[in-house]
Chain A
Amino acid sequence: EADIYQTPRYLVIGTGKKITLECSQTMGHDKMYWYQQDPGMELHLIHYSYGVNSTEKGDLSSESTVSRIRTEHFPLTLESARPSHTSQYLCASRREGTDTQYFGPGTRLTVL
């Protein structure tokens, strides 16, 4: 069982709200990732980090932002949520020198 956590698991909010999706891991992994996944579709990488104070945008353009102030914490923020942001957001981490990614349980976001 991977020690990577996401909160909240489910979130329903109105358009225009600011939200932060939390992701924490206790494995000491340097590399962390955020993916977006719509039902029945592939995971798309939207942000990644190779360590503290390192953040990069992924292959899929996203209006969200991320920060990496501590190794174990990689939150994702949407300044003004819109219905098009409705999706599942998955956080993952990987130890330097290994190839396996460990995923959190995901946050299902619905913007009304």
Chain B
Amino acid sequence: SQKIEQNSEALNIQEGKTATLTCNYTNYSPAYLQWYRQDPGRGPVFLLLIRENEKEKRKERLKVTFDTTLKQSLFHITASQPADSATYLCALDPRGFQKLVFGTGTRLLVSP
């Protein structure tokens, strides 16, 4: 079956450290993968998109990698801050029909 898996347990880290979140997928061959941030009671906000022919993408303190052989994407936040605390979702478009499938998300907690 097709699945997108993200760590269901919350990730707790100290301010200033690098947070690394994982997204694994099975039985998909997506052309791209996206990462969103969702705060409690709010809609997701787009962060980064990485295409299948890109190994790495950066935006300020954010970095995403995409390994189509491992079927995995890693999302890094460097120099993390308490304001980075949120749930981070990965999403992909499995059939190129512009309909996204989302993972359950990983909650990140950054302590001062």
Contacts and interface: CB of A to CB of B under 8 A. Distances in A.
Q: Do A and B come together as binding partners?
A: yes
Interface of A: 2, 31, 33, 40-43, 45, 48, 58-59, 88, 90-92, 94, 99-106, 108
Nearest to A44: B102
Given A45-B99, A48-B99, A100 B41 contact: no
Bin chain B's interface residue count. Answer: 20 to 34
A104 B68 CA distance: 31
A108 to B, nearest CB: 7
Contact of A106 (B4, B42, B46, B100): B42
Most buried by A among B41, B42, B43, B104: B43
A94 B105 CA distance: 21
B100 A101 contact: yes
B44 A103 contact: yes
Interface of B: 4, 32, 34, 41-46, 49, 89, 93, 98-105
Contacts of B43: 90-92, 103-106
Contacts of A94: 98
Given A99-B34, A99-B98, 18 more contacts: A33-B99, A40-B104, A41-B104, A42-B4, A45-B99, A45-B101, A59-B99, A59-B101, A90-B44, A91-B43, A100-B49, A101-B44, A101-B46, A103-B44, A105-B41, A105-B43, A106-B41, A106-B43
A84 B102 CA distance: 22
B34 to A, nearest CB: 7
A40 to B, nearest CB: 7
A104 B7 CA distance: 25
Contacts of A2: 45
Given A42-B105, A100-B49, A108 B99 contact: no
5 contacts: A48-B99, A94-B98, A100-B34, A103-B44, A106-B41
